[in-house]
Structure 1
Amino acid sequence: MTGTTTSQPLLSVEDFSLNFSGMEKANLIDGISFSVLPGQTLCLVGESGCGKSVTSLALMGLLASPPARVKCGRALFNGRDLFTLSERQRADLRGNEIAMIFQEPMTSLNPSLTVGHQIVEGIRRHNAVSSEDARARALEMLELVRIPAPEKRFDAYPHQMSGGMRQRAMIAMALANSPKLLIADEPTTALDVTIQAQILALVSRLQRETGTAMILITHDLSVVAEVADRVAVMYAGRIVETGSVEEIFSDPQHPYTLGLFGSVPSLGRRTGALATIEGSVPPLEKMPAGCRFATRCPFADQRCHREAPPRYEPTPGHQVTCWYAPLEDHVRAA
């Protein structure tokens, strides 16, 4: 986990909603709010289909519009609303002040260009430097991410590198211009466990050294425990719980958060089966009018299906959106 130096958010997303043409019945992203401080790591957590990647792509300006449409809200980055910038302004930010590590580097890197060429291209796009200086910076970054023989790898094509090396090259590319914010979308999913640990340690170390803020998108709670400062739990396009990593792990208050923890295997001895969250994320056209988790929640009653739940704050900074919070009161009552 990283420390922070200021209480002023670097990025503040406020009441952000998004939908797609032809799917206006319900918002794909529905009224989400979160913030990230300089040097802080926010983990955006939830199962597949909850809207985590769509949120990251919207922040990066990588969703085609149409069909994507921001219905309301804003995303203030250093005081500028990302959603009101022109495409030229977004391109000037992207890869410079805001960078992204994608889930699968083999589909993100250009297979017809060498890795070194692609890093140099990003450096020269945002900096008035010579090709020699850009090459030197690219080699410095490849060395920084601990790619062996960086001069040789500089001239390699993506298919000539292992998955772990490609992901390191993506990290080098993302950090080459010293961005203020790094968005990492499931950056270790396609890697084996040993390489995953190495990549996470590398990203955390570079983040500490550079003071870069990070939004890490993941469904892996062990990763969250290792790197997060704050956690936002996302379900069906809504954020249902936010808090510090300590609060979320020690005092989860939303039934969905509890379900995520219950489904995680542990190394210790278990006396029963892993918990499961029955069902799946409902399609947009069948979203409940109230709480979107109502169709899968063991506590849900008719009110949960009809009315949007209120926001409850167990402690300052720890927020949960649920009719049954605090959960311990209802568990005791039951």
Structure 2
Amino acid sequence: MSAPQAASGVSTAASPAAAAPVLSVEGFSLTFDAKAQTNLVEDVSFSVAPGRTLCIVGESGCGKSVTSLALMGLLPSPPARIVSGTARFEGSDLFAMSERARADLRGNEMAMIFQEPMTSLNPAFTIGHQIAEGIIRHRKLSKAQARAEALKMLEWVRIPAAAKRLDAYPHQLSGGMRQRVMIAMALANRPKLLIADEPTTALDVTIQAQILALVRRIQQETGTAMILITHDLGVVAEVADDVAVMYAGRIVESGPVEAIFADPQHPYTIGLFGSVPSLERRQGRLATIKGAVPPLQLMPKGCRFAPRCPFADTRCHEQVPPTVSFGAGHKAACWYAPIEQTMGATQ
């Protein structure tokens, strides 16, 4: 089934890569502790254009989900406090908007798919009611019209027996179908930006593949810009156009997915790739990254990855590394980058 009629106004004539960003984040820093010496998220910058997918990747606790919730305006303040930076959505700074203006954007021009649909869907209301609620809020349709739109969305995301599922409750659906419902709900008002936070983590491999295929198809049909939060490099390889590797609240490497996979330049990125199992015959044990992401109170003074990095020296522990550009949008924040050239010179 093609995209619902209201989405057909999206033009695909221009190259998505050449289009102006839907969202551009610059120098974003955030803290939950006003007395802390460092910020939980520090000097984060990235952008995403129409029709493209930016994957923000990193292990648990690195700040991926907090960043996405801040962009959606879903963090309680206090304790959350934006220290610095801008997040321009089609030219308007999200962080400078009133709560009313953010609420008008949220679920309308910006939407989010959460990690666990069973806790995100309201168990007391039917699927049809929950999809229609957002449509009525933002598009001012009648209940009957909103219900008809909800049915179209369920058919669009290929829910079997969609008409019957309208009156089903979340607990009556499988995990895969609940996630499809979340996607239908997020896309019901044809948002220009979709943020998906670990949308396939709780699903088995077969259903995960179906959901990823669905997301790719929908994006091709609508031209929606997407930020996908994940720690799964297999998912990144499957759907990403661009990648931002995040560690301890900072982006340590970013660029086109081909460059990141073919020539990773930050030791953390290299460590992530080294820990991924391969279908090919393996020699020895998988690589591991020793240690854990430091808590906010123990963030290192210099490079935040230095305590776990096999290449770290005194400078790495004392000074924040510069961001080195390798062309074509590929960047890494490391004193040793480009790593092959620098390490070769020191041997």
More deviation in 123-132 or 186-195?
Answer: 123-132
Q: Among all aligned residue pairs of Structure 1 and Structure 2, give the percentage whose two residues are the same amino acid.
A: 72
Report if the CA contact (8 A) 1:291-1:304 is conserved.
yes
Which structure 1 residue ranges, 4+ long, deviate > 4 Å from structure 2? Answer: none
Matched, 1:232 2:257: no
Match of 2:308 in 1: 296
CA distance in 2 between partners of 1:69 and 1:165 (Å): 36
Match of 2:4 in 1: none
Matched, 1:28 2:3: no
Matched, 1:49 2:41: no
Describe the SS at the equivalent of 1:315.
coil
More deviation in 307-316 or 21-30?
Answer: 21-30
Matched, 1:262 2:274: yes
CA distance in 2 between partners of 1:58 and 1:304 (Å): 29
Give CA deviations for 1:146-195 in whole Å, capped at 9, x if unaligned.
10111111111111111001000000000000000000000000000000
Matched, 1:122 2:128: no
CA distance in 2 between partners of 1:116 and 1:26 (Å): 45
More deviation in 323-332 or 132-141?
Answer: 323-332
The normalised TM-score by structure 1 is 0.98
The normalised TM-score by structure 2 is 0.94
Shift of 1:24: 2.4
Which of 216, 219, 236 is the equivalent residue of 1:204? 216
Report if the CA contact (8 A) 1:23-1:284 is conserved.
no
**Residue correspondence of structure 1 range 1-334 to structure 2 within 5 A:** 4=16, 6-21=18-33, 24-333=36-345, 334=347
CA distance in 2 between partners of 1:315 and 1:165 (Å): 42
CA distance in 2 between partners of 1:139 and 1:74 (Å): 38
Give CA deviations for 1:127-163 in whole Å, capped at 9, x if unaligned.
0211111111100000111101111111111111110
CA distance in 1 between partners of 2:209 and 2:328 (Å): 32
CA distance in 2 between partners of 1:159 and 1:244 (Å): 39
Report if the CA contact (8 A) 1:6-1:38 is conserved.
no
Amino acid at match of 1:91: A
Q: How many residues align?
A: 333
Structure 2 unaligned spans of 5+: 1-11
Amino acid at match of 2:115: Q
Give CA deviations for 1:95-150 in whole Å, capped at 9, x if unaligned.
00000000000110111111110000000000021111111110000011110111
CA distance in 1 between partners of 2:328 and 2:204 (Å): 38
